[in-house]
Amino acid sequence: MIKNFTWTIPNVLSLYRLIMFPIIFYALWVDLEEVFAMLICINLITDILDGWIARRFNQATEVGARLDSMADMGTYLLSFAGVFYFKADLLQDHLLALYPFFLLFALCHILPLIRFKRLPSFHLYSWKIGGYIQGIWFASLFFIEFWPSYYYFMVIWGILAFSEHLIIQFLISRPASNLKGLYWVLQTREAKKV
Comparing 22-26, 57-61, 74-78, 151-155, the range with the smallest average pLDDT is 57-61
Q: Report pLDDT digits (tens) over 119-148.
A: 888 889 999 899 899 999 999 999 999 999
Q: Is residue 59 part of a domain?
A: no
Q: Is residue 72 part of a domain?
A: no
Q: Is residue 28 part of a domain?
A: no
Given a cut of 50, whether residue 106 has pLDDT beyond it is yes
pTM of the model: 0.83
Q: Is residue 84 part of a domain?
A: no
- Per the prediction, the chain carries an average pLDDT of 89
User: 54-61 long-range contacts, Cβ below 8 Å, gap at least 24?
Assistant: 54/8, 54/10, 57/9, 59/8, 59/9, 59/10, 59/11, 60/10, 60/178, 61/4, 61/6, 61/8, 61/11
Q: Is residue 39 part of a domain?
A: no
Q: Is residue 121 part of a domain?
A: yes
| Dihedral angle over CA of 51, 59, 109, 152, nearest 10 | 10
Q: How many domains does the chain have?
A: 1
- In this predicted structure, what is the pLDDT of residue 190? 43
Task: Determine the structural domain holding residue 134 and report its residue range.
Answer: 93-194
Q: Is residue 189 part of a domain?
A: yes
Q: Is residue 183 part of a domain?
A: yes
Q: How many Å apart are CA 99 and CA 129, to the nearest integer? A: 21
